[in-house]
Chain A
């Protein structure tokens, strides 16, 4: 049992087109906790995810928004930190920072971003997290200076002061990224489809994060574990993981929390009907089941 004890979050993972605003509004109305947006600005059919998120935040009331995950090579950290803090202020504390090191380097380079090796990407992400936390630390006196290998910041103003403690959630799969996540992040946000053995990979990967957290002097519960799940369906009969009737989803998700410590389930869907059922028939029942088991 590796339940880290966080309150459960249920959300969606949407394609960043103009339709995503309506999906966010619907998810908000349905009572979901999270709406998250993939970030591929080099894809012509997609909108700029940050602009989309800010727009959707202004059109929603209660739901929390996050990139899933934002593309660091195309988002300079000091600018990003200020933007995220600003949206957190504007939205009344409804923003989390899902962040990734970048993957599609040809496309990133074509969009004016810098090409890095995967190893360099991890180091750059570590630098970026330090800068971002520094910008958010408005109680420090001096301006932000950072003379890193990948990022140089000289005398940036701090702030604005975020409306709440913004979590940095990292998309991580490989050992060095997992170690970074354990040491520096507030959340881990992988996609089940990209895990080598699906959810069966979770114990080993969680263990890496736990170890890195402890090595950094943090409790493993400092890192919330979230999971993007795709290829799901509300089928009338049980067919497999998150393919079956809602009661089966509740059972599987309760197990996901209690056994693997996942306390954020993010459903990849652009279908409002699926989102509505997830919100109405899965989220409350799972929350209740976990509450009972934890009690």
Chain B
């Protein structure tokens, strides 16, 4: 093959969307020189020289690789070379083409093509993985626990993913104090099942397949929220690996600042490797799944708001709807009544069921684990998400008539295919707004909308902006910088920024609502 033909072949492979162009040593052209040449003649494909680079020393070989990485930029699967990995990570690294990569490349909602997924099993391995991330600061870097994250880019193209899924232990630390220790990679369904035999529960979100790490560092607005508070309200200590690889334990008495920050903005501060929660004694509950039809979504929203406001704190009900069909809205209402008494459960749910025409209902007495059990867990097949979620979030202080009107218009706008109200109040509001980095204590609802088009959803949603006070970062994907100020109101943001400069001055953790801009870091 002539050099021109070889170059044309690489260019064509790239045009065909291939990620890798493996070179053979045919005994003629020097493989390294050829690889460099072809890299310079292509843009994204990873030109892979065969075997070791012929060089005077390992240091020279490393220098050559680093130089090409600097010149050629971020390339396909070998953007992070094998030599960049410490031995401890050799068994837990997944690259395109590796068995298991297909299950880890994407998340629940997002398609991705990371160059490298590292799945450390211990805090030491997390520290090693962070060293790799520090050395490849130019690549996108995401953290993943269960892979349900909407706001955090827990997958990416051509970057690095630190996946803590393997750290999924659940143990009882102190039965008397109901103290448990959970790894970030466990799912809430697994946690619920492990606590079930003790008659305990720990409120999470509304879906059991979600991983512990992401939720427990952001908030946790779930179906036990009004009865027992947010997930972060139950956190007593957390073990983290910081950006520089330091392993720390944070709690009320150790690194209390960090402990404050982790409960709401954890993804900015480190990789949590273990959480210690004080859980609640929760026996049987009423678990309700209702389907209602409404010809008048505005009225149903208004009524739902009123019913939810009057509900006792033992009752938490979420509402989901989509675009109306032939003028009829279909609403799912699902929630938990913290009572084993069927009469109480029915009494609590009846007003909700009357906000529209009840089409289906399933109400059972079960445990929290039973309510979580319906979700599919993250299995060996992982996630197969595609695309990029387009979402907005807002905390709604009061569901007013005006909000019901504007929300109905949003739902009818054609820009929203999923609209959710998460019922708050109750125990969530018992905690002071400055107790931790989750300050949104008094809204009636957390509102989420999913759309197909970024521009379309933002335009429709922004019309509702005056109804909201803040947002829940876990459900927000609007990239505009002012969203950070919605997630963290001024005094919280100021304190978080100060702590960020202390604990992550180079801004290594920048994937999910970075507190300081890249240009403000000490890189």
Residue of B nearest to A74 (CB): B56
Instruction: Please provide the chain A residues from 176 to 194 with a CB less than 8 Å away from any CB of chain B in the complex.
Output: none
- Nearest residue (CB) in B for A82 is B30
Q: Any chain B CB within 8 A of the CB of A57?
A: yes
Residue B15, interface by CB 8 Å = no
For A83, list chain B residues within 8 Å (CB): 30, 32-33
Q: Which residue of B lies closest to A88 (CB)?
A: B33
Q: Is the CB of B29 within 8 A of A160?
A: yes
Is A73 interfacial (CB 8 A cutoff)? yes
Stretch from A7-15, A43-51, A254-262 at the B interface:
A43-51
Q: Which residues of A contact B28 (CB under 8 A)?
A: 86, 159-160
Residues of B within 8 A of A18 (CB): 70-71
Contact B59–A52 (Cβ < 8 Å): no
Cross-interface CB contact of A111 among B30, B37, B59, B70, cutoff 8 Å: B59
A111 to B30, CA, bound (A): 22
Against A, the Cβ 8 Å flags (1 = close, 0 = not) of B56-91 are: 111110011011101110000000000000000000
Q: Which residues in window 20-55 of B have CB below 8 A to A?
A: 27-30, 32-34, 36-41, 54-55
B100 within 8 A of A: no
Q: Are A111 and B60 in contact (CB under 8 A)?
A: yes
Q: Is the Cβ of B63 less than 8 Å from the Cβ of A86?
A: no
Contact A58 B37 (CB under 8 A): yes
Interface size on A, residues (CB 8 A): 33
A161 shortest CB reach to chain B, Å: 9
The answer to whether the Cβ of A99 comes within 8 Å of any Cβ in the partner chain is no
Interchain pairs with CB closer than 8 A, number = 94
Tally of contact residues, B, Cβ under 8 A: 29
B68 near A51 (CB under 8 angstroms)?
A: yes
Q: Are B36 and A55 in touch, CB under 8 angstroms? A: yes
Q: Within the complex, what minimum Cβ distance (angstroms) separates A196 from chain B?
A: 31
Instruction: Compute how far the CA of A90 lies from the CA of B31 in the bound complex, rounded to whole angstroms.
Output: 12
Q: How far is the CB of B104 from chain A (nearest CB, A)?
A: 32
Query: Smallest distance from the beta carbon of B36 to chain A beta carbons, Å?
Result: 4
Residues on A with beta carbons closer than 8 Å to the beta carbon of B37: 54-55, 57-58, 87, 90
CA distance A176 to B38 in the complex (A): 40
A194 CB to nearest chain B CB (Å): 25
A41 at the interface (CB under 8 A from B): yes
B3 closest partner in A (C-beta): A90
Report whether A79 and B71 are in contact in the complex, using a CB–CB cutoff of 8 Å: no
Among B30, B70, B72, which residue has the most Cβ atoms of chain A within 10 A? B30
With A55-B39, A58-B40 already in contact, the answer to whether A74 and B71 are too (CB < 8 A) is no
Inter-subunit contact B30/A79 (CB<8 Å): yes
Instruction: Give the contacts of A38-72 with B (CB-CB under 8 A).
Output: 41, 47-48, 50-52, 54-59
> Could you mark each residue 150-184 of chain A with 1 if its beta carbon is under 8 Å from any beta carbon of chain B, else 0?
00000001011000000000000000000000000
Report whether B41 and A47 are in contact in the complex, using a CB–CB cutoff of 8 Å: no
CA distance A86 to B36 in the complex (A): 11
A-chain residues with CB within 8 Å of residue B64 when the two chains form the complex:
48, 50-51
CB-CB under 8 A from A157, the residues of chain B are: 27
Residues of B within 8 A of A110 (CB): 59
Chain B proximity of A54: nearest CB distance (Å) = 4
Residues of A near B39 (CB, < 8 A) are: 55, 58
Inter-chain contacts of A47 with B (CB < 8 A): 67, 70-71
How far does the Cβ of B69 sit from chain A's closest Cβ, in whole Å? 10
Q: Which residues of A contact B41 (CB under 8 A)?
A: 58
The verdict on A54 contacting B63 (CB below 8 Å), with A18-B71, A86-B34, A160-B28 known, is: no
Q: Does A112 contact B (CB under 8 A)?
A: yes
- Complex CA gap A226/B150 in Å reads 62
Q: A18-B71, A41-B63, A90-B34 are in contact. Are A54 and B40 (CB under 8 A)?
A: yes
* Chain A residues within an 8 Å CB radius of B70: 18, 47
Closest B residue, CB atoms, query A108: B56
Tell which of A18, A41, A48, A59 has the most Cβ of chain B within 10 Å: A48
Cβ-defined contact, A75 with B71, below 8 A:
no
Q: In the complex, what residue of chain B is closest to A20 when comparing beta carbons?
A: B71
**6 A-B pairs with the lowest CB-CB distances in the bound complex, closest first:** A112-B57, A58-B40, A54-B36, A48-B67, A86-B30, A47-B67
Pick 30 A–B contacts, CB within 8 A, sort by A: A18-B70, A18-B71, A41-B60, A47-B67, A47-B70, A50-B33, A51-B32, A51-B36, A51-B71, A54-B37, A55-B37, A55-B72, A57-B37, A58-B38, A58-B39, A74-B57, A74-B60, A75-B56, A76-B55, A83-B30, A83-B33, A85-B30, A89-B3, A90-B33, A110-B59, A111-B59, A112-B56, A113-B57, A113-B60, A160-B28
B residues adjacent to A (C-beta < 8 A): 3, 27-30, 32-34, 36-41, 54-60, 63-64, 66-68, 70-72
Knowing that A48-B64, A48-B66, A55-B68 touch, tell me 16 more A-B residue pairs with CB under 8 angstroms: A47-B70, A52-B71, A54-B40, A55-B37, A55-B40, A57-B40, A74-B56, A75-B56, A83-B32, A83-B33, A87-B33, A89-B3, A90-B3, A112-B57, A113-B56, A157-B27
Point out residues on A near B: beta carbons under 8 Å: 18, 21, 41, 47-48, 50-52, 54-59, 73-76, 79, 82-83, 85-87, 89-90, 110-113, 157, 159-160
